[in-house]
Protein backbone atom coordinates (compact mmCIF):
# COMPACT_ATOMS: atom_id res chain seq x y z
CA UNK A 1 0.00 0.00 0.00
CA UNK A 2 1.10 3.59 -0.62
CA UNK A 3 0.97 6.59 1.70
CA UNK A 4 -1.43 9.47 1.22
CA UNK A 5 1.62 11.74 0.88
CA UNK A 6 2.91 9.64 -2.05
CA UNK A 7 -0.50 9.73 -3.75
CA UNK A 8 -0.68 13.47 -3.12
CA UNK A 9 2.70 13.98 -4.85
CA UNK A 10 1.46 12.08 -7.93
CA UNK A 11 -1.74 14.16 -8.01
CA UNK A 12 0.28 17.36 -7.86
CA UNK A 13 2.79 16.25 -10.50
CA UNK A 14 0.25 15.37 -13.22
CA UNK A 15 -2.20 17.33 -15.36
CA UNK A 16 -5.00 15.24 -16.91
CA UNK A 17 -7.28 13.34 -14.50
CA UNK A 18 -10.29 11.06 -14.70
CA UNK A 19 -12.18 10.66 -11.43
CA UNK A 20 -14.35 7.54 -11.37
CA UNK A 21 -16.54 5.57 -8.98
CA UNK A 22 -18.89 2.62 -8.89
CA UNK A 23 -22.15 2.01 -10.76
CA UNK A 24 -25.35 2.71 -8.83
CA UNK A 25 -23.44 5.35 -6.89
CA UNK A 26 -24.30 6.38 -3.34
CA UNK A 27 -23.58 9.62 -1.50
CA UNK A 28 -20.02 8.54 -0.67
CA UNK A 29 -19.25 7.72 -4.31
CA UNK A 30 -20.68 10.95 -5.77
CA UNK A 31 -19.50 13.20 -2.93
CA UNK A 32 -15.98 11.77 -3.13
CA UNK A 33 -15.85 12.14 -6.92
CA UNK A 34 -16.98 15.77 -6.81
CA UNK A 35 -14.76 16.70 -3.87
CA UNK A 36 -11.58 15.34 -5.42
CA UNK A 37 -12.49 16.63 -8.88
CA UNK A 38 -13.17 20.17 -7.66
CA UNK A 39 -10.01 20.24 -5.55
CA UNK A 40 -7.83 19.14 -8.48
CA UNK A 41 -9.50 21.72 -10.71
CA UNK A 42 -8.55 24.43 -8.25
CA UNK A 43 -4.95 23.29 -8.61
CA UNK A 44 -5.28 24.05 -12.35
CA UNK A 45 -5.70 20.44 -13.48
CA UNK A 46 -7.91 19.20 -16.32
CA UNK A 47 -10.46 16.89 -14.73
CA UNK A 48 -13.12 14.56 -16.12
CA UNK A 49 -15.62 13.28 -13.52
CA UNK A 50 -17.49 10.25 -14.89
CA UNK A 51 -19.99 7.79 -13.53
CA UNK A 52 -21.82 5.17 -15.59
CA UNK A 53 -25.13 6.32 -14.08
CA UNK A 54 -24.42 10.05 -14.31
CA UNK A 55 -25.57 12.39 -11.52
CA UNK A 56 -28.63 11.13 -9.63
CA UNK A 57 -31.61 13.49 -9.16
CA UNK A 58 -31.43 12.87 -5.44
CA UNK A 59 -27.90 14.32 -5.26
CA UNK A 60 -28.24 17.00 -7.92
CA UNK A 61 -28.15 19.70 -5.20
CA UNK A 62 -24.48 18.95 -4.48
CA UNK A 63 -21.98 21.69 -5.27
CA UNK A 64 -20.48 21.12 -8.71
CA UNK A 65 -23.04 18.38 -9.54
CA UNK A 66 -23.12 19.57 -13.16
CA UNK A 67 -19.43 18.64 -13.48
CA UNK A 68 -20.24 14.93 -13.17
CA UNK A 69 -21.41 13.21 -16.34
CA UNK A 70 -21.84 9.84 -17.96
CA UNK A 71 -18.63 8.64 -19.66
CA UNK A 72 -18.30 9.38 -23.39
CA UNK A 73 -18.49 6.53 -25.89
CA UNK A 74 -15.12 7.59 -27.37
CA UNK A 75 -12.30 6.59 -24.97
CA UNK A 76 -9.85 9.32 -23.88
CA UNK A 77 -6.25 9.54 -22.63
CA UNK A 78 -5.26 10.64 -19.13
CA UNK A 79 -2.21 10.97 -16.94
CA UNK A 80 -4.03 9.60 -13.89
CA UNK A 81 -7.29 7.69 -13.44
CA UNK A 82 -8.60 7.59 -9.87
CA UNK A 83 -11.10 4.94 -8.71
CA UNK A 84 -12.90 6.01 -5.53
CA UNK A 85 -15.01 3.86 -3.17
CA UNK A 86 -15.00 0.99 -5.68
CA UNK A 87 -14.38 -2.50 -4.30
CA UNK A 88 -13.66 -4.17 -7.65
CA UNK A 89 -12.51 -2.61 -10.90
CA UNK A 90 -15.45 -3.99 -12.90
CA UNK A 91 -17.82 -2.04 -10.62
CA UNK A 92 -16.58 1.05 -12.51
CA UNK A 93 -18.73 -0.16 -15.41
CA UNK A 94 -18.57 1.83 -18.64
CA UNK A 95 -16.52 4.57 -16.94
CA UNK A 96 -13.45 2.28 -17.01
CA UNK A 97 -13.98 1.54 -20.71
CA UNK A 98 -13.85 5.29 -21.44
CA UNK A 99 -10.21 5.43 -20.27
CA UNK A 100 -8.08 4.54 -23.29
CA UNK A 101 -4.81 5.14 -21.48
CA UNK A 102 -3.78 6.32 -18.03
CA UNK A 103 -0.13 6.32 -16.98
CA UNK A 104 -1.16 5.73 -13.37
CA UNK A 105 -4.25 4.12 -11.82
CA UNK A 106 -4.99 5.20 -8.26
CA UNK A 107 -7.32 3.14 -6.06
CA UNK A 108 -8.67 4.81 -2.90
CA UNK A 109 -11.29 2.89 -0.96
CA UNK A 110 -12.52 1.60 2.39
CA UNK A 111 -13.98 -1.79 1.35
CA UNK A 112 -11.96 -4.54 3.08
CA UNK A 113 -12.65 -6.90 0.15
CA UNK A 114 -10.91 -4.52 -2.31
CA UNK A 115 -8.22 -6.64 -4.06
CA UNK A 116 -5.89 -3.62 -4.27
CA UNK A 117 -5.96 -3.15 -8.03
CA UNK A 118 -4.07 -0.20 -9.55
CA UNK A 119 -0.57 1.30 -9.40
CA UNK A 120 -1.07 3.44 -6.28
CA UNK A 121 -3.35 1.99 -3.64
CA UNK A 122 -4.74 3.30 -0.38
CA UNK A 123 -7.33 1.09 1.30
CA UNK A 124 -8.41 1.85 4.86
CA UNK A 125 -11.01 -0.75 5.84
CA UNK A 126 -11.58 1.02 9.15
CA UNK A 127 -12.50 4.38 7.58
CA UNK A 128 -16.29 4.79 7.61
CA UNK A 129 -16.33 6.55 4.24
CA UNK A 130 -14.04 7.17 1.29
CA UNK A 131 -14.81 10.85 1.89
CA UNK A 132 -13.00 10.63 5.23
CA UNK A 133 -9.86 9.24 3.54
CA UNK A 134 -10.04 12.03 0.95
CA UNK A 135 -10.11 14.68 3.67
CA UNK A 136 -6.88 13.22 5.08
CA UNK A 137 -5.40 13.07 1.56
CA UNK A 138 -6.26 16.72 0.92
CA UNK A 139 -4.65 17.72 4.21
CA UNK A 140 -1.55 15.60 3.52
CA UNK A 141 -1.18 17.06 0.01
CA UNK A 142 -2.19 20.60 1.05
CA UNK A 143 -4.99 20.59 -1.50
CA UNK A 144 -7.79 23.18 -1.45
CA UNK A 145 -10.91 22.44 0.64
CA UNK A 146 -13.31 25.32 -0.10
CA UNK A 147 -16.99 25.36 0.99
CA UNK A 148 -18.10 23.39 -2.10
CA UNK A 149 -15.50 20.70 -1.47
CA UNK A 150 -16.29 20.64 2.27
CA UNK A 151 -19.98 20.15 1.46
CA UNK A 152 -19.26 17.22 -0.85
CA UNK A 153 -17.02 15.54 1.72
CA UNK A 154 -19.68 16.10 4.38
CA UNK A 155 -22.33 14.42 2.18
CA UNK A 156 -19.95 11.49 1.53
CA UNK A 157 -19.27 10.94 5.24
CA UNK A 158 -22.82 11.63 6.47
CA UNK A 159 -24.45 9.18 4.04
CA UNK A 160 -21.94 6.34 4.60
CA UNK A 161 -22.18 6.63 8.39
CA UNK A 162 -25.98 6.77 8.55
CA UNK A 163 -25.66 10.40 9.63
CA UNK A 164 -22.73 9.73 12.02
CA UNK A 165 -24.47 6.78 13.71
CA UNK A 166 -22.99 3.49 12.43
CA UNK A 167 -20.40 1.67 14.59
CA UNK A 168 -17.49 2.67 12.32
CA UNK A 169 -18.12 6.32 13.24
CA UNK A 170 -15.26 7.44 15.48
CA UNK A 171 -14.19 10.59 17.29
CA UNK A 172 -12.03 11.29 14.25
CA UNK A 173 -15.14 11.20 12.02
CA UNK A 174 -16.78 13.87 14.18
CA UNK A 175 -13.56 15.90 14.22
CA UNK A 176 -13.47 15.85 10.41
CA UNK A 177 -17.20 16.69 10.38
CA UNK A 178 -16.50 19.67 12.63
CA UNK A 179 -13.64 20.81 10.40
CA UNK A 180 -15.87 20.55 7.31
CA UNK A 181 -18.50 22.70 9.06
CA UNK A 182 -15.79 25.29 9.84
CA UNK A 183 -14.87 25.23 6.16
CA UNK A 184 -18.42 25.96 5.04
CA UNK A 185 -20.60 22.81 5.13
CA UNK A 186 -24.11 23.72 6.37
CA UNK A 187 -25.29 20.69 8.40
CA UNK A 188 -28.96 21.68 8.70
CA UNK A 189 -29.33 22.47 5.01
CA UNK A 190 -27.47 19.36 3.84
CA UNK A 191 -29.29 17.03 6.25
CA UNK A 192 -32.66 18.35 5.12
CA UNK A 193 -31.69 17.84 1.47
CA UNK A 194 -30.36 14.35 2.21
CA UNK A 195 -32.88 12.99 4.70
CA UNK A 196 -36.05 15.09 4.49
CA UNK A 197 -36.52 15.58 0.75
CA UNK A 198 -37.54 12.13 -0.49
CA UNK A 199 -40.04 11.84 -3.32
CA UNK A 200 -43.45 10.50 -2.25
CA UNK A 201 -42.72 7.57 -4.58
CA UNK A 202 -40.05 6.32 -2.18
CA UNK A 203 -42.45 6.23 0.77
CA UNK A 204 -45.05 4.44 -1.37
CA UNK A 205 -42.32 1.94 -2.19
CA UNK A 206 -41.54 1.48 1.50
CA UNK A 207 -45.25 0.86 2.23
CA UNK A 208 -45.38 -1.90 -0.39
CA UNK A 209 -42.03 -3.38 0.65
CA UNK A 210 -43.15 -3.64 4.27
CA UNK A 211 -46.14 -5.68 3.13
CA UNK A 212 -43.62 -8.29 1.82
CA UNK A 213 -41.61 -8.32 5.08
CA UNK A 214 -40.52 -11.73 6.37
CA UNK A 215 -39.11 -12.44 9.80
CA UNK A 216 -36.91 -15.52 10.19
CA UNK A 217 -34.56 -17.11 12.71
CA UNK A 218 -36.72 -16.24 15.70
CA UNK A 219 -36.74 -12.55 14.91
CA UNK A 220 -33.03 -12.23 14.16
CA UNK A 221 -33.40 -11.92 10.38
CA UNK A 222 -35.76 -9.54 8.60
CA UNK A 223 -36.12 -9.22 4.85
CA UNK A 224 -38.29 -7.70 2.17
CA UNK A 225 -38.38 -8.00 -1.60
CA UNK A 226 -38.89 -5.78 -4.60
CA UNK A 227 -40.17 -7.57 -7.71
CA UNK A 228 -39.77 -6.10 -11.19
CA UNK A 229 -43.56 -5.93 -11.32
CA UNK A 230 -43.82 -3.75 -8.20
CA UNK A 231 -40.91 -1.57 -9.35
CA UNK A 232 -42.64 -0.95 -12.68
CA UNK A 233 -45.99 -0.26 -11.03
CA UNK A 234 -44.51 2.46 -8.79
CA UNK A 235 -42.00 3.80 -11.34
CA UNK A 236 -39.17 3.12 -8.88
CA UNK A 237 -35.73 4.58 -9.61
CA UNK A 238 -32.68 2.66 -8.35
CA UNK A 239 -31.77 5.52 -5.99
CA UNK A 240 -35.18 5.23 -4.24
CA UNK A 241 -33.94 2.04 -2.55
CA UNK A 242 -31.01 3.59 -0.75
CA UNK A 243 -31.50 3.39 3.00
CA UNK A 244 -34.84 1.57 3.01
CA UNK A 245 -33.15 -1.50 4.49
CA UNK A 246 -32.48 0.57 7.62
CA UNK A 247 -36.18 0.19 8.51
CA UNK A 248 -35.53 -3.57 8.90
CA UNK A 249 -32.25 -3.11 10.73
CA UNK A 250 -34.05 -0.77 13.16
CA UNK A 251 -36.26 -3.58 14.51
CA UNK A 252 -35.39 -4.70 18.06
CA UNK A 253 -33.83 -8.17 18.00
CA UNK A 254 -32.98 -8.12 14.29
CA UNK A 255 -29.31 -8.93 13.69
CA UNK A 256 -29.32 -9.22 9.89
CA UNK A 257 -31.53 -7.25 7.50
CA UNK A 258 -31.82 -8.28 3.85
CA UNK A 259 -33.22 -6.51 0.81
CA UNK A 260 -33.91 -8.60 -2.29
CA UNK A 261 -34.35 -6.72 -5.55
CA UNK A 262 -35.27 -8.58 -8.72
CA UNK A 263 -33.15 -7.48 -11.71
CA UNK A 264 -33.52 -8.06 -15.41
CA UNK A 265 -31.72 -11.09 -16.89
CA UNK A 266 -32.67 -13.55 -14.14
CA UNK A 267 -30.63 -12.06 -11.31
CA UNK A 268 -31.44 -10.73 -7.87
CA UNK A 269 -29.55 -7.95 -6.12
CA UNK A 270 -29.09 -8.80 -2.46
CA UNK A 271 -28.20 -6.12 0.09
CA UNK A 272 -27.38 -7.09 3.66
CA UNK A 273 -26.89 -5.15 6.87
CA UNK A 274 -25.73 -6.53 10.20
CA UNK A 275 -25.88 -5.12 13.70
CA UNK A 276 -23.30 -7.51 15.15
CA UNK A 277 -19.64 -8.31 14.42
CA UNK A 278 -20.64 -11.94 15.02
CA UNK A 279 -22.77 -11.85 11.86
CA UNK A 280 -20.25 -10.94 9.13
CA UNK A 281 -22.49 -10.22 6.12
CA UNK A 282 -19.47 -9.62 3.86
CA UNK A 283 -18.46 -13.25 4.37
CA UNK A 284 -22.01 -14.39 3.57
CA UNK A 285 -22.15 -12.24 0.42
CA UNK A 286 -18.74 -13.52 -0.71
CA UNK A 287 -20.28 -17.03 -0.83
CA UNK A 288 -22.59 -15.61 -3.53
CA UNK A 289 -19.84 -13.79 -5.45
CA UNK A 290 -20.37 -10.42 -3.75
CA UNK A 291 -18.54 -8.46 -1.07
CA UNK A 292 -18.47 -5.26 0.95
CA UNK A 293 -18.02 -4.54 4.62
CA UNK A 294 -18.54 -6.72 7.68
CA UNK A 295 -21.75 -4.88 8.60
CA UNK A 296 -22.91 -3.86 5.10
CA UNK A 297 -22.49 -5.99 2.00
CA UNK A 298 -24.16 -7.12 -1.19
CA UNK A 299 -24.19 -9.58 -4.08
CA UNK A 300 -25.89 -10.21 -7.39
CA UNK A 301 -27.22 -13.75 -7.43
CA UNK A 302 -28.58 -15.70 -10.40
CA UNK A 303 -32.04 -17.19 -9.94
CA UNK A 304 -35.66 -16.22 -9.44
CA UNK A 305 -36.69 -14.05 -6.51
CA UNK A 306 -38.12 -16.97 -4.43
CA UNK A 307 -35.08 -19.18 -5.18
CA UNK A 308 -32.56 -16.54 -4.19
CA UNK A 309 -34.53 -15.60 -1.07
CA UNK A 310 -34.52 -19.19 0.06
CA UNK A 311 -30.81 -19.82 -0.63
CA UNK A 312 -29.64 -16.57 0.94
CA UNK A 313 -31.82 -16.83 4.05
CA UNK A 314 -30.54 -20.41 4.53
CA UNK A 315 -26.94 -19.18 4.24
CA UNK A 316 -27.57 -16.51 6.87
CA UNK A 317 -29.04 -19.16 9.16
CA UNK A 318 -25.82 -21.17 8.75
CA UNK A 319 -23.84 -18.27 10.14
CA UNK A 320 -26.00 -16.94 12.95
CA UNK A 321 -27.34 -19.25 15.59
CA UNK A 322 -30.90 -19.73 14.37
CA UNK A 323 -31.94 -21.84 17.33
CA UNK A 324 -31.28 -19.36 20.07
MN1 LIG B 1 -18.31 4.18 0.72
pLDDT in tens, 84-101: 999 999 999 999 999 999
Using the predicted structure, report yes or no on whether residue 2 has a pLDDT greater than 70.
Answer: yes
pLDDT-derived band at 67 (thresholds 50, 70, 90) equals very high
Return the pLDDT at 45.
98
pLDDT-derived band at 322 (thresholds 50, 70, 90) equals low
Asked whether the beta carbons of 63 and 148 are under 8 A apart, the reply is yes
Average pLDDT, the chain: 96
pLDDT-derived band at 167 (thresholds 50, 70, 90) equals confident
Q: How far apart are CA 210 and CA 203, in angstroms?
A: 11
Choose the weakest-confidence range: 119-128, 234-243, 245-254.
234-243
Query: Could you tell me which of 161, 113, 115, 171 has the C-alpha nearest to residue 299?
Result: 113
pLDDT digits (tens, 9 = 90+) for 207-218: 999 999 999 999
Q: How far is the CA of 295 from the centre of ligand 1 (A)?
A: 12
pTM comes to: 0.90
In this structure, the dihedral spanned by the alpha carbons of residues 144, 148, 152 and 157, taken in order and rounded to 10 degrees, is: 70
Q: How far is the CA of 308 from the centre of ligand 1 (A)?
A: 26
- Between the two ends of the chain, the Cα-to-Cα distance in Å is 42
Return the pLDDT at 239.
83
Element spanning 147, H or E: helix 147-160
- Structural domains of the chain sorted by starting position, each given as residue range(s) with its CATH number in brackets: 4-195 (3.90.1640.10), 200-323 (3.10.310.30)
Strands (E), 143-241: 214-216, 221-226
Return the pLDDT at 242.
86
Q: How far is the CA of 26 from the centre of ligand 1 (A)?
A: 8
Q: How far is the CA of 283 from the centre of ligand 1 (A)?
A: 18
DSSP code string of 106-135:
EEEE--TT----SSEEEE-TT-S-HHHHHH
Q: How far is the CA of 110 from the centre of ligand 1 (A)?
A: 7
DSSP bridge pairs for 68: 49
Cα 39 from chain centroid (whole Å): 21
Q: How far apart are CA 193 and CA 189, in angstroms?
A: 6
Which of 324 and 182 is assigned the larger pLDDT? 182
Query: What average pLDDT does this structure show over 273-281?
Result: 93
Q: How far is the CA of 49 from the centre of ligand 1 (A)?
A: 17
Q: How far is the CA of 157 from the centre of ligand 1 (A)?
A: 8
Return the pLDDT at 323.
54
Using the predicted structure, report yes or no on whether residue 324 has a pLDDT greater than 60.
Answer: no
Return the pLDDT at 180.
98
Backbone region of residue 212 per phi and psi (left: phi > 0; alpha: psi in -120 to 50; beta: other values):
alpha
pLDDT-derived band at 238 (thresholds 50, 70, 90) equals confident
Q: How far is the CA of 233 from the centre of ligand 1 (A)?
A: 30
Q: How far is the CA of 91 from the centre of ligand 1 (A)?
A: 13
Q: How far is the CA of 322 from the centre of ligand 1 (A)?
A: 30
Q: How far apart are CA 210 and CA 206, in angstroms?
A: 6
Q: How far apart are CA 93 and CA 73, in angstroms?
A: 12
pLDDT digits (tens, 9 = 90+) for 119-128: 999 999 999 9
Return the pLDDT at 107.
98
Q: How far apart are CA 131 and CA 42, in angstroms?
A: 18
Using the predicted structure, report yes or no on whether residue 74 has a pLDDT greater than 60.
Answer: yes
Amino acid sequence: MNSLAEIGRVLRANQRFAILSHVRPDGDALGSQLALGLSLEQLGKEVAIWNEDGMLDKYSFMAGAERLSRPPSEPQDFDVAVALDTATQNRLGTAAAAIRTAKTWVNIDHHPSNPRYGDLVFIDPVAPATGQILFDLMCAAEMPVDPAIAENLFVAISTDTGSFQYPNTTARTFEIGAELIRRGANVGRLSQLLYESYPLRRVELLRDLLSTMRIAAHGQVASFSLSLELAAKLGVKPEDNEGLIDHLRAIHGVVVAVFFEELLEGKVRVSMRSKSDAADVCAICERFGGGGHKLAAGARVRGTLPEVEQRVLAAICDVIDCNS
